[in-house]
Amino acid sequence: MTDKKPSRKEQILQTLAYMLEAEPGGRVTTSGLAREVGVSESALYRHFPSKARMLEALIEFIEDSVFSRINRIISEGDALQQVEQILTLILAFTERNPGITRLLTGDALTGENERLRQRIQQFYDRVESQLKQVVRDAEFREGKRTRATPGITANLLLSVVEGRIAQFVRSGFRARPAEDWHEQWALIAPMIFRADGKAL
């Protein structure tokens, strides 16, 4: 059985992701993308009306990949396990997809449509909201209370992940996001919930 050949649209997006990875810090142009794909620029625009729409399609891939898995994660396990799995998921996803991770730091969006930056902000807001919901629900489901408020806790957890992602991009993809994460999580985990179940 042969693998299904990607459509031209998929090929364009895969090539764009590759170029984002191959040129850390560089800006991908539609002319360069067309050359890499082996088509004319006008052929690109038959599939996507603009470069912004190509980048938006990659952001949609990030959203679909991450949030579909988060929905499965929150359906089982306790709150601490869910938080760990959500954070690990994002780190592992970015490590497997270095090119499009540049979108998550805004590095590849310089000079692009402002709505793309807003879309990335909404992605992080949604992750933070999910983390907040998990730690807040722990009080009702498990009798656990966070040391700080659920909002402060979720923001700190997200900041850790964002920092690892930023290091990954800044290092030219050498500082892997999931490297030493197991040991770091062991330091973070005891700080989330109070041992006596009471908030400060």
State residue 189's pLDDT score. 97
Higher model confidence: residue 57 or residue 5?
57
Instruction: Report the predicted TM-score, pTM, of the whole model to 2 decimal places.
Output: 0.91
The answer to whether the CB of 147 falls within 8 A of the CB of 192 is yes
pLDDT tens by residue, 115-155 = 999 999 999 999 999 999 999 999 999 999 999 999 999 99
State residue 200's pLDDT score. 43
Residue 148 DSSP code: S
Q: Is the per-residue pLDDT at 1 higher than 80?
A: no
What is the tally of helices (H) and strands (E) in the chain? Answer: 9, 0
Q: Is the per-residue pLDDT at 4 higher than 80?
A: no
Amino acid at 4: K
State residue 196's pLDDT score. 65
